[in-house]
Amino acid sequence: MVNAAIAGQQACQRLTLPCGDTVLVALQGAHVLSWVSQGRERLFLSPNNLWDGHSAIRGGVPVCFPQFNQRGTLPKHGFARNMNWTAGEAVINGDAAHIDFTFSAHADTLVLWPHAFVAQLRVALVPGQLTLTLTVRNTDTDQDLQFTGALHTYLAVDDIDLTELRGLGGSPEWDAVADVHGVADEVLYFDGEFDRVYTLGARTAGQALALQDGTTTLQIEQSPSWAESVVWNPGEHKCATLADMPPDGFARMLCVEAAQVLEPISIPAGGQWLGWQRLTVS
């Protein structure tokens, strides 16, 4: 079932499966706000969002495009998360459903970034699993398109002090807080601000990560077309400086992102790129 909904003051689309799993997506940014599976909310959404229609939404799954963070001249994490996307017709087939959201270059984007493109986010739901697929098509006829970005997924956890992430062991690791490079441990724990970029090589590309939160495990996969995974938690002190986060918000979330950070993706004129992230309750 699909129906229109409102979150804050945002127009949304909600998909609901017969088993009760649901996903809620705002038209602003094609931003996934909620994924409920097996009766539990799996994403963190800050209660301190402004919901003013143009400020970035904190939590859920922001689509960062065409720039990751402040690694360029565009607004932080690009402009796609702050602009409205167009929802297509939902496709429902028994216990599976999906809906596509589309965002194309227009006058406001061309002022910021002189490229013709069509971006699409497919939000696909089956029992116990959410798959987000970002497709970017270069509609220019005579120039390449280069971008960085991420599916900036905020996962809900009961207590960050008791949370573990496995599956990145041995990967090249850049600790952005200390600005040091190293190699990832087999198990990641979180005590204080944590902001690290992991380069996925032959050993870890396609390998599922496992987020252990008490008695619940969430499997996290991404397509090899994303070169990196980013793991982020602001920690208590940085969280206190974020106006759109409650002071204790850090304790209830962990970002695990499918990302392209260090080198841009290049799409030739008329070409297309596709990258996905899949979350599975286990």
**DSSP string of 146-168, one letter each residue:** EEEEEE--EEE-S-GGGEEEES-
Per-residue pLDDT of 162-187, as tens digits, reads: 999 999 999 999 999 999 999 999 99
Query: Of all residues in the chain, what percent carry a pLDDT higher than 70?
Result: 96
In terms of C-beta density within 10 A (0-12 exposed, 13-18 middle, 19 or more buried), how is residue 270 classed? Answer: exposed
Residue 55 CA to residue 28 CA, distance in Å, equals 10
Residue numbers annotated as active site:
152, 257
Look-up of token digits 């602001």: 234
pLDDT of residue 63: 98
Domain 2-158+229-275 architecture? Distorted Sandwich (2.70)
Per-residue pLDDT of 65-94, as tens digits, reads: 999 988 888 989 999 999 999 999 999 999
The three-class DSSP label of residue 78 is: strand
Going by C-alpha positions, the residue among 197, 244, 264 that lies closest to residue 62 is 244
pLDDT of residue 266: 98
Full-model pTM: 0.96
Which secondary-structure segment (H or E) carries 58? none
Question: What residue type is assigned to position 172 of the chain?
Answer: P
**Region 40-53 average pLDDT:** 94
